[in-house]
Amino acid sequence: MGSRSLLLLPALLLALAGCGSSDQGEDTEPAAAAQSTEMGTGTDTEQKAGQFPGYPVLVELSSLDSRVASSMEGQTAEGKVVALAPGLYTPYNTQFRDLNRYYQDPVLYGDQMMMQEHFPQSPGTFWGGVQPGTQEPKG
């Protein structure tokens, strides 16, 4: 009976080794999927940044349309917001200084038509006729 157990041991070890490699394959698939998702987001970010020369840009909340400024009051760091496009803004967070990062899933404030045209899936608060603030690039 003891020699029979010894014969089964290599088969058992091979089976366990096979399970381990299977687990590795499962672990790498989600990572690869996550990487391709991130790469897609990066491409979208580059596209948005390329559509609006000079954007994204950090601007003072006080330089914006009064409707936007009053709605964003207390929601942004250091009294600044990130202008993602003419008349479209998202709150600034000092922990995220790479302004291109703000193109990824932003909560927007600003012009209704610009949002519908360029960020149709983004949540936020919008008004008609919001013009670019005084610190934004001149188009």
Q: Do 79 and 123 reside in the same domain of the chain? A: yes
Q: What is the DSSP secondary structure assignment for residue 108, as one 8-state letter?
A: E
Mean pLDDT of 119-138: 96
Each residue of 68-122: pLDDT tens digit? Answer: 999 999 999 999 999 999 999 999 999 999 999 999 999 999 999 999 999 999 9
Higher pLDDT, 39 or 139: 139
Q: Do 66 and 120 reside in the same domain of the chain? A: yes
Identify whether 41 is part of a domain: yes
Identify whether 134 is part of a domain: no
Q: Do 86 and 119 reside in the same domain of the chain? A: yes
**Whether 59 contacts 133, CB under 8 Å:** yes
Q: Do 75 and 108 reside in the same domain of the chain? A: yes
Q: In the chain, how many domains are there? A: 2
CA 50/CA 57 separation, integer angstroms: 13
pLDDT given at position 20:
45
CA 136/CA 76 separation, integer angstroms: 18
Q: Do 47 and 61 reside in the same domain of the chain? A: no
Mean pLDDT of 129-134: 97
**Whether 78 contacts 92, CB under 8 Å:** yes
Domain containing 18 equals 1-51
pLDDT given at position 4:
52
Mean pLDDT, the chain, as a whole number? Answer: 78
**The pairing of beta strand 124-127 with beta strand 57-60:** unpaired
